[in-house]
Amino acid sequence: MEGFKALGLSYKNTPIEIREKVTFSELESSDFLLKLKEMFSIEEALLVSTCNRTEIYFSSDASKEDEILSLIASFKNISLKVLSEHINQFNSIEASEHLFKVALGLESQVLGDIQISNQVKRAYQQSADLNLAGPHLHRLMHTIFFANKRVVQETRLQDGTASVASVAVDLIKGFIDNISGPRIALIGLGEIGQNVLDNLNSEEATITLVNRTKSKAVKLAEDKNLSVCDYSDLDEVLSNNDVIISAVSSSSPIVSAKNFKEDSIHKLLIDLSVPRSLNTDLEGVPGISLYNVDQLTERTLKARSVREQSIPDAERIVKEELKGFGNWKNEMGVSPTIQKLKNALNQIRKEELARHKKLSDKEMELLDVVTKSMIQKVIKLPVLQLKAACKRGEAETLVEVLNDLFNLESAEAEKK
């Protein structure tokens, strides 16, 4: 884990005005990871970009943080000075532990947020598709997924209504309670948009779906018996609905104050996008109530108090699984020595067999089986001792002893 590192920013020390400037779309993420691989010869990397954080995890024995930071600034066209003021860095086991906590929702603005686990899974799948997930990252991610399963089964970290989408729906329920025949428009049908839709489905309201790819909206509308409107008809959508939820991915706002007349009837606008898709100048329009991701998150405090009680148990699970991952990593470190020892003993066996040329083929075949069995029994104890030494943090000493006893380095060099 020594070469595993992470750098990035999150809601904890970075305002939304900065976070939205360094949010990566799926395509941008792919392009950035390929640049990372090409420019810095990095073989393992993971980019997690959500509304609350943008973080890059990578394996490198050399210090690449400054270069990667400069690449982010260039790629996203943001001042390196501004970016540097908000960046957190993690090295070695800290980076692995941080990724555990991020994926399990322990670092989320909404504690225990279940969406982050799916977002990390997609980031991992992207890394795998780009051949940027090696043995270390594969093992780490699957250990994290197992830890998440334990957290769900053994704790209450994900109990209650605490996701941004569900909180948005609670806000909508309160707003439309006194409206006769309320009309709701949902713009953007990605994961967050569909999550909102699932929560809205039981509400007595007319729901209209709007999506850049209309076929996706049509399919969802057919399944749930809802209406669809063209993305190009946003003015009509804004005019005809009491509630507008925007979960669309856009580099700049798609709706601003100019889209509304001053005599607009009271409307609720909810912006679930980062970068924000609803311009902040909407706050000055009479009759409009505007909420963004950070504001919605503040409304999750009640659910948070229940979930906070599970933090110690969740952190215990993280430590247990992280320890198991560390043991695997240490064992991987001694695997070359184990293989060299097997090669050395097997070479001795072959040389001894070669001396007995007068034996028949049947006798040689039997002797080959017997000597292989003997080698397996001889090597069993050193291997067990090496693995035990790994757990005690003493593997290096035993590796040196085995190298000296069997002259492993010289034997391997001669073999080559």
CATH code of the domain containing 224:
3.40.50.720
Same structural domain for residues 138 and 9? yes
Averaged pLDDT, 343-365: 83
pLDDT band at 1 (very low <50, low <70, confident <90, very high): very low
Same structural domain for residues 19 and 155? yes
Q: Can you give the pLDDT at residue 184?
A: 94
**Among 84-93, 153-162, 183-192, 272-281, which stretch is predicted with the lowest mean pLDDT?**
153-162
Residue with tokens 């399944």: 223
Percent of the chain with pLDDT over 90: 49
Whole-angstrom Cα distance, residue 156 to residue 38?
A: 43
Instruction: Encode pLDDT of 247-257 as tens digits.
Output: 998 888 999 99
Whole-angstrom Cα distance, residue 64 to residue 58?
A: 9
Residue with tokens 């970009």: 49
Instruction: Encode pLDDT of 300-339 as tens digits.
Output: 666 677 788 999 999 999 999 999 898 887 776 666 777 7
Whole-angstrom Cα distance, residue 389 to residue 274?
A: 48
Same structural domain for residues 150 and 172? no
What does 167-234 look like in DSSP terms, one character per residue? HHHHHHHHHHTT-SS-EEEEE--SHHHHHHHHHHTTSSSEEEEE-SSHHHHHHHHHHHT-EE--GGGH
Nearest partner of 249 among 114, 49, 73, 87, judged by Cα: 49
pLDDT at 48 over 80: yes
Q: Can you give the pLDDT at residue 394?
A: 64
Whole-angstrom Cα distance, residue 232 to residue 300?
A: 34
Domain presence at residue 245? yes
Sign (positive or negative) of CA dihedral 346, 352, 357, 363: negative
Q: Which two tokens stand for residue 295?
A: 């504001």
Q: Residue 217: which domain range?
A: 164-302
Domain presence at residue 118? yes
Same structural domain for residues 36 and 134? yes
Same structural domain for residues 231 and 364? no
- Residue 81: other Cβ atoms inside 10 A: 8
Same structural domain for residues 68 and 207? no
Averaged pLDDT, 54-61: 94
More confident residue, 138 or 164: 138
pLDDT at 78 over 90: yes
Q: Which H or E run includes 329? A: helix 311-354
Give the three-state DSSP class for 125.
Answer: helix
pLDDT band at 416 (very low <50, low <70, confident <90, very high): low
229 is catalytic: no
Domain presence at residue 318? no
Whole-angstrom Cα distance, residue 57 to residue 64?
A: 11
Number of domains comprising the chain: 3
Whole-angstrom Cα distance, residue 183 to residue 244?
A: 9
More confident residue, 365 or 162: 365
Q: Can you give the pLDDT at residue 307?
A: 87
Structural domain ending residue among the three candidates 287, 302, 317: 302
Q: Which of 1, 42, 45, 51 is catalytic?
A: 51
Averaged pLDDT, 62-88: 94
Same structural domain for residues 155 and 177? no
Q: Can you give the pLDDT at residue 106?
A: 94
More confident residue, 223 or 397: 223
Same structural domain for residues 151 and 168? no
